[in-house]
Amino acid sequence: MSEPDPIVFIVDDDARVREALSLLLSTFDLRTVAFKSATDYMASPAPEGPSCLILDVELPDMSGLDLQRQTGDVLPPVIFLTGHGDVPSSVRAMKDGAVDFLTKPFHATDLMRAVDAALAQDRDARRNRSEALELRRRLATLTPREQEVLPLVTSGLLNKQAAVELGISEVTLQIHRGKIMQKMGASSLAELVRMAAALEIPMTHTRHTRR
């Protein structure tokens, strides 16, 4: 299944700016959706594919900086494009995760460089979220006992040590470990350790916990 085409959202209260940006981006085969206010943008449906947001600082209902801060991770990567730029605003925007802070008039090459970086960032974030959801789905297929075994084997305990920790035989531990590898789709212990780290499963034991 192919990835949906990327979308560049534009939020600017100046119709001429919205039109100029839409025209410029269309020459790079990019689809745009423009809004005159933060409220209109927030009322729009979330995109299914990669996206970014070109955002003005001064808007009629709320500032672009406030929109960025209040919506946090809900927003796609943000590029500020404003005629009211100042150092405190740019510092705040970048600290809150903006990809770039450009002032009008701007150079098309600078804007397109920022748009490319923002779309790449959103693709990476979407891929990471998708992978995390898949890992959580696999984790949910483990039995309660297998979920007890997982942090022990990924913490570096030997099979014998992990078996003692749970009060089961080493053979039984090995069976559980094999089922975990199969259900999680891990081809090696190293890969299983990476999965556990991605799932933020606490590593509370080490190989030298027990002697």
pLDDT at residue 44 in the model: 92
pLDDT at residue 105 in the model: 86
Average pLDDT, integer, range 27-43: 94
Phi-psi region of 37 (alpha: psi -120 to 50; beta: other; left: phi over 0): beta
| Angle between helical axes of 159-166 and 170-184 (0-180°, round to 10) | 100
Using DSSP bridges, classify how beta strands 7-11 and 31-35 pair: parallel, antiparallel or unpaired: parallel
* Phi, psi (degrees; rounded to nearest 5) at 16: -65, -40
Give yes or no for a contact between 57 and 80, defined as CB atoms under 8 angstroms apart.
yes
* Phi, psi (degrees; rounded to nearest 5) at 138: -65, -40
Give percent of the chain with pLDDT exceeding 90: 72
Give percent of the chain with pLDDT exceeding 70: 94
Pinpoint the alpha helices (H) of the chain.
Answer: 15-26, 38-42, 64-71, 87-95, 108-140, 144-154, 159-166, 170-184, 189-198
pTM for this prediction: 0.75
| pLDDT digits 0-9 by tens, 145-192 | 999 999 999 998 999 999 999 999 999 999 999 999 999 999 999 999
pLDDT at residue 84 in the model: 75
Peptide bond preceding 202: is omega within 30 degrees of 0, i.e. cis?
no
Complete domains list, the chain, with CATH: 7-131 (3.40.50.2300), 141-198 (1.10.10.10)
pLDDT at residue 205 in the model: 63
pLDDT at residue 210 in the model: 43
What tokens does 27 get?
């020459």
pLDDT at residue 104 in the model: 86
| pLDDT digits 0-9 by tens, 80-99 | 998 877 788 888 889 888 99
Residues 6+ apart with CB under 8 A from 207: 155, 156, 157, 158, 161
| Greatest distance between any 2 Cα atoms in the chain | 74
